Structure 1
Amino acid sequence: MANVTELAARLSKAVADRTAIDQLSDEAPDLDLATGYAVQRALREQAGPLSGWKLGVTSRAKQAQVGVSAPIYGFLAAGNALDLGAPLNTGELIQPRAEPEIVFTLGSDLAGPHVTATDVLRATAGVAVGVEILDSRYRDYRFTMADVVADNTSAGRYLIGAPVPPAGIDLRLVGVVLERNGEVVATASGSATLGHPAAAVAWLVRALAAEGEGLRAGEVVLSGGLTAAVPVAPGDVVVASVDRLGTVELSCR
């Protein structure tokens, strides 16, 4: 049986050493999603204050590609948030990649096994454009779904713009543009995440309900990458823009 404490310690050491390791399942072939989430919970207990949650594999096409039928989720450590205007120190990470996100800020608690996208929008105080910096602890981003869940869905850093009220905005249809060093590297629409970003957040609430948890007022949720993630290095400048939500810019050093 996979030893959850030992696996969590290997991932923590990779972060501390800033050195990629082989995927856990190479040496723990019985690693499954349930065990992956157990490893993630062990990491969460060591992470200090949390600010919310993040979703991964929210694209239906990506789910089909990797052979899963639902997204995955991880937690957001408050200490990993980047302030607007502050640079990303790539030297603190192993192999950073950037992707644009639509971010939800909860205005009220939300929990339960039957929460819908409409419930999410009703409970949302604001939505914002964000940039998530992924940083897999596995060499060359090579992993199974259980591996990446254990690795807190490759969480690295995150930047969130100023939120705006969601009323009157059809988040399915908003256009998304990701630029690196002044060149457009990817485009999408809000529907790229489960057909509607609020649907992705609703899935998260239902998944957390199965663990006796939920979302709390004031927490943020990164609703899932809207484009493929692009590598970033010192000197790069990444800009994410979402119609009606605004633009955020992140410089890398």
Structure 2
Amino acid sequence: MEAHDDPGVLGTFAQGRGVPGTGPSAGSLAAVSSGAQGSSSHVRVEAWHREEARRLRRAECQGLPDELLSRRRPGLTLVDAYRVQWCGVALRVGEGARVLGHKVGLTSAAMQQQIGVDEPDSGVLLDYMEVADGGVLRAAGLLSPRVEGEFAFRLGADLCGADVSEEDVRAAMPAVCLALEVIDSRFDLQGIRLVDSVADNAACARFVLGSSVPMPAWDLGGERLTLSVGTSEVAAGEGRDILGGPCRSVAWLARRLDAFGTGLQAGDAVLAGAVHASIPLPRGATVSVSSPRLPPVSLRTE
């Protein structure tokens, strides 16, 4: 099978932020553990990484679910799954998309139990995924969209390293906002594993960022987020439900990216993860998330 060290395939991210291929370690990928710590090793880009990325892109464009990657490729590693993910992002960048930041997924116990995994994952945010606050999301073409309420940040400074802490995150974040994320797997969800989610860009489909406020002195872990459809509250959770707090979630992301030889950069948008289990995205409705001390955010579906 064709294989080679390829700074080019991920180097197409050069216009983006915090993605392997943009820094001195382009063409290599570190070994990944659940804590994103430990020794690193070079991983070669193989033809099947690209082919699986193209296959997922076709599923997204055609609106047809694909067979789980983990079933077709038993023994698939997490490193390989991230390589497929980033090759997929490279395809989209080649089509004209821009990298806006990152998302952390599967951060709460509720989400992990819903999907059947025991650790978080991460994905890349692209410009075509963003919906304006209060804007319309046309669900045609999405397979089985679900929606989540989250905290989000815009970095004011670079954030990288194997020992990034919650305090480092707070220092790098000038502001915080509420966000909605619409997830939509390109796979049949029955029997899905962590590697499938990672390869599928952590199921990221669309996102909405609310109005930002200066980073507060009070603990975001105690802020309760409520997801509503119309006037009905349908889900809720607190900041501490995501890895102990949204800043801890971002610290986890920075450490994981460091294991790949990259990190978060000033200007990146970061979704910190859902505080509750996702719910099916309703058609013809207004979906919003609110909290006691942060401005609400909403979208309308068609």
By how many angstroms is 1:92 displaced?
3.1
1:43 counterpart residue number? 88
What per-residue deviation string (whole Å, max 9, x for no partner) do you get for residues 204-241 of structure 1?
00111111111111111100011111111321221111
Report % sequence identity: 35
1:13 alignment partner, one of 50, 58, 80:
58
Residues 1:107 and 2:152 aligned together: no
1:57 alignment partner, one of 92, 102, 106:
106
Q: Is the 8 A contact 2:153 2:177 kept in 1?
A: yes
Aligned partner letter, 2:101 = G
1:138 counterpart residue number? 187
Q: Does 41-50 or 149-158 show the bigger shift?
A: 41-50
1:128 alignment partner, one of 177, 183, 196:
177
2:37 counterpart residue number? none
- CA distance, structure 2, for counterparts of residue 167 and residue 47 of structure 1: 36
1:32 alignment partner, one of 71, 77, 81:
77
Q: Is the 8 A contact 1:90 1:233 kept in 2?
A: no
Q: TM-score, normalised by structure 1?
A: 0.94
- CA distance, structure 2, for counterparts of residue 55 and residue 203 of structure 1: 9
Q: Does 59-68 or 126-135 show the bigger shift?
A: 59-68
Gaps of 5+ in 1: none
Q: Does 163-172 or 94-103 show the bigger shift?
A: 163-172
What per-residue deviation string (whole Å, max 9, x for no partner) do you get for residues 170-204 of structure 1?
10000110111321111111111001110010010
RMSD of aligned alpha carbons: 1.7
Residues 1:160 and 2:214 aligned together: no
- CA distance, structure 2, for counterparts of residue 171 and residue 110 of structure 1: 19
- CA distance, structure 2, for counterparts of residue 85 and residue 212 of structure 1: 37
1:147 counterpart residue number? 196
What per-residue deviation string (whole Å, max 9, x for no partner) do you get for residues 33-85 of structure 1?
111101001012122211100011112465578453x4211100112111122
- Report SS of the residue matched to 1:223: strand
1:89 alignment partner, one of 122, 125, 138:
138
- Report SS of the residue matched to 2:220: coil
Q: How does 1:160-199 map to 2 (within 5 A)?
A: 160-199=209-248
Q: Does 140-149 or 157-166 show the bigger shift?
A: 140-149
Aligned pair count reads 252
Q: Is the 8 A contact 2:104 2:121 kept in 1?
A: yes
- Report SS of the residue matched to 2:296: strand
Q: Which has the larger radius of gyration?
A: 2
- CA distance, structure 1, for counterparts of residue 191 and residue 152 of structure 2: 27
- Report SS of the residue matched to 2:82: helix
Q: Does 234-243 or 146-155 show the bigger shift?
A: 234-243
Aligned partner letter, 1:4 = H
Q: TM-score, normalised by structure 2?
A: 0.79
